Every structure is written in C-alpha cells, then in structure tokens.
Amino acid sequence: MLAPLLTTTAAHAQNLPLIRDGEIEALLADYARPIFKVAGLGSNKIQMRIVREDSFNAFVVDGRSVFINTGALTISDTPNQVIGVISHETGHITGGHMAALRARIAKDQTRALIASILGIGLLVAGGTSGHSAGGNDLGNAGTGVLLGGNELVQRGLLSQMRQQESAADQAGIKFLEATHQSGRGMLETFERFAQQEYISDAQKDAFVRSHPIATDRLARLRTLVEQSPYYNAKDDPALQLRHDLMRAKLSGYLERPATILNRYPAKDQSLPARYARVLAHFFQGGSGALETALTEIDSLIRDKPDNPWFQEVKADILIRAGRKHDAIGPLRQALRLAPAATLVQVELADCLQSEGNPAAMNESVDMLRRSLIDDENGQAYRLLATAYYAQGKGPEADAAQAQAEFEEGDLKKAQIFAKRAQAHLRQGTPEWIKTDDIINYKPPT
C-alpha cells in the first residue's frame, strides 16, 4: 500500500531512506521551480527528494536531484528558510561542484597512494625491529610521510569544499534576488549552524559537517543578504500556511502521539494543529480512535473543501483501518482537486484492485500507466504487475515486476524478471525495450 507519507524506499544509487508524499513534494516543487528557472535548470527535471532523517541537512550528489531531510523541513520556521537552502544547493549544481569534488577525490587518492608507497618504502628500508639507530630514524620518517600525506590530502579537500560552499552562497543569493526573494532565510540557517562549529563532531548536525562554515564566509554572506533590495521581502501568507501544514503532517506521521499532542495542544485551533491532531488521535489507537480521527478530518474538509490533501489523509486513515472500499470516494475527490497527483493515482489504483472485479482492475491498470508517464516509482510498477498477473498477462507482469525491482535498487532481481519477460515479449515493443535496458544495465563505477 502506498500511504501519503510513509512509503520508504532506497534510492538505488545513494541507498538513502526516501519517503514520498504528494503534498510535500508539490510544496517543495513550488519552492524550487522559480530558483531552478533563473538558474537555467528549468527544463532539466530536477527532483526534490525527501530523506527520512531527523537532522538538518540538504545536499546534492549529482545534477538530477536535491535531497532534503525531514529534519530540515520541520526545523525551518518559514518557507524562505527552506527556499534559501534549495537556492544554495542549486548553486552547487550550476557550479558543477560534485563533479569537481569527485575529480579532486580521485586525484587525491592517487596522491595518498603515492605517499603511502613512499612511506612503506622508507619503513622497509629502515626496518621495523628498532635495533638500529639508523633504522629507527628511517622508520619514523616513513610514518611521517604516511601521516603527512593523508593530512595534506585532507587539507586540500576541505579547502576546496570551503571554496565551493562560498561560491554556492553567492550563486544562491543571485538566484533569490532574481526571483525577488529575501536571502534572510539562508542567512538564518547558516547563522544557526555556525554556532555548532565549536561543539564535538558527534553532536554536530549533519549540515555543519557537510557544509563547513567559516567566520569570514558567514560575514560575506551576511553582507550580500543585507545589501539585497529584497532583504525585507516576506513569504506569502498562503505559502506560510502550506509550510505550517507540511510541518504538522510530518509531525503527525513521524512522531509519537504524545509528542504531537504536546506540540499541538487542543487549545490551538489553527488548521495545522488540527491536521496534526487528526493523525495523533488515529495513531493513539484504542476505542474510538478511528471515529475521532474521521470526525476531525471531516471537519477540516468542510472548512477547506478545495484541499486535496485532507481528502487523501482521510483515505489513508481508512486504508490503514482496513476499509479500502471506503477510501475510493475520498481518493477520487482528491484527484478531482489535484489531477496531476500521481501518488494519489497509485493509491486509488491499489484500492480499486481490492474491489476484485474486472472493471475495477482495468481502471486500475489505466490509472497506473498514466501515473508512470510522469513519475516512475517501484510501487506503481509492482501494482501494475499484480494487475497484469490477474489479467493473465504473464510476460507484461514480469516486465512490470522487473521495473519495480530496478526502481527499488535490486538489479539482480530486476534482471531475472526482465529475462523471463523478454523471452515471451515481441521484440521492439516498449516493454521489450525496457527489459532489454535492464538486462544490459551496468551500474556506474
């Protein structure tokens, strides 16, 4: 079952615990779209990926995705703080920093190897028994080469990282100015984490370790931000509400009910607080938990009938309660309000399959195929395989299962299913071509 939030997969290249949620992904896409456009990345289909991790961190590993931790989303008080982080990471993409860093690491590995060989050579030449004064001297020299070589490599790498961070700051501020947004959120984020530079590595947030923050760098960033004509620009109230709803939803799904109810007490009647409490009351369990949660989500739907995500959460609660048939109505309404919501399409397809009749199964297949045009994900392919098996389409089912395994990072299983499917598919068809791609896929080294 694909729930709105808690479907966790592994990015097959990065092996990261990712989560999918239509509401949060739509919000992050709205945050990122103007930044990507002015950065010249508008047509590159860069994805915002959500990592289930409590620490504050955001990072890029290539030019195709920006990864942001759930911790960064919940800690950030305003949209501008998240937008500032996205703008900074976009600076890394446009600067080609990851490619440059990989090249530097490859070069430094060679240098470290040479230093190690030289050190080992000195150690061998001097001996290690310690019986000779000359031997001791040469042995110590060899150790010094080993340690010194590694230190030199580390210093060079950190120096390049600091230069890249400063360049990403400057590029990020330019992107924010081009979109008439304040850089204050970026500054607030880095000022918050500059304070962590004086504590132990074990206690530091991941953002500090991966984004070295020097005092002079922070001073330059502060000057750039304060000189911007958009320094005092404020987030749109509607965007702030969506941000607060996102934080409430993350709390509702990821934290213990007691923690949620402490953070969002009953006296707080704001939409975000009510949203979080729906989930807290449901996950508390016990007598009346389902009825209470449904009553509260229905109240939110009455107040905001144009919000598709309230409908989706209602459906998720019903699905978790074993009432997939009852979830179909809210999911259809969510799709009417958000026709492009591919994850809602997948949820609805799953519920339709449980109806157990050919018409519902056919609709499920059509819906899954539409969803996969814009959003290839393992769960959709897995459901499509189930539907094809039920329809007696074995080769097509095997091909879909191969895609599911590939998307979820299990290349060995993917190739097994692809070979089984290809043996019975007509050569040159789209399914045959996809299976052939999987069979011949070679992981990047």
Q: Binning pLDDT at 50, 70 and 90, where does residue 16 land?
A: confident
- Report whether pLDDT(343) > 90: yes
Both tokens assigned to 1:
């079952």
CB atoms under 10 Å from CB of 133, counted, come to: 8
First to last CA, the chain: 33
Name residue 212's amino acid. P
- Report the C-alpha gap between 416 and 357 in whole angstroms: 30
Q: Which of 63-72, 116-125, 319-328, 433-442 has the lowest mean pLDDT?
A: 116-125
- Report whether pLDDT(145) > 80: no
Average pLDDT rounded to a whole number, residues 220-230? 93
What is the SS3 assignment for 269-308?
Answer: CCHHHHHHHHHHHHHHCCCCHHHHHHHHHHHHHHHCCCCH
DSSP single-letter state for residue 322: T
Pairing of the two strands 58-59 and 47-51:
unpaired
DSSP single-letter state for residue 262: H
- Report the C-alpha gap between 264 and 257 in whole angstroms: 10
Both tokens assigned to 95:
């600067």
Global pTM reads: 0.82
Q: What's the chain's Rg over C-alpha atoms? A: 26
68 forms bridges with which residues in the sheet? 50, 58
Average pLDDT rounded to a whole number, residues 258-263? 97
Average pLDDT rounded to a whole number, residues 223-251? 96
Averaged pLDDT of the chain: 84
The CATH number that domain 7-96+166-227 falls under is 3.30.2010.10
Q: CA–CA distance from 401 to each of 4, 313, 362, 384 (Å)? A: 22, 28, 18, 8
Both tokens assigned to 45:
């289909």
Both tokens assigned to 245:
């709803």
CB atoms under 10 Å from CB of 9, counted, come to: 16
The structural domains of the chain, with segments of one domain joined by +, span 7-96+166-227, 99-164
Pairing of the two strands 47-51 and 65-69:
parallel
Residue entry with tokens 């069979």: 439
Kindly report, residue by residue over 198-222, the tens digit of the pLDDT: 554 455 454 444 555 667 778 888 9
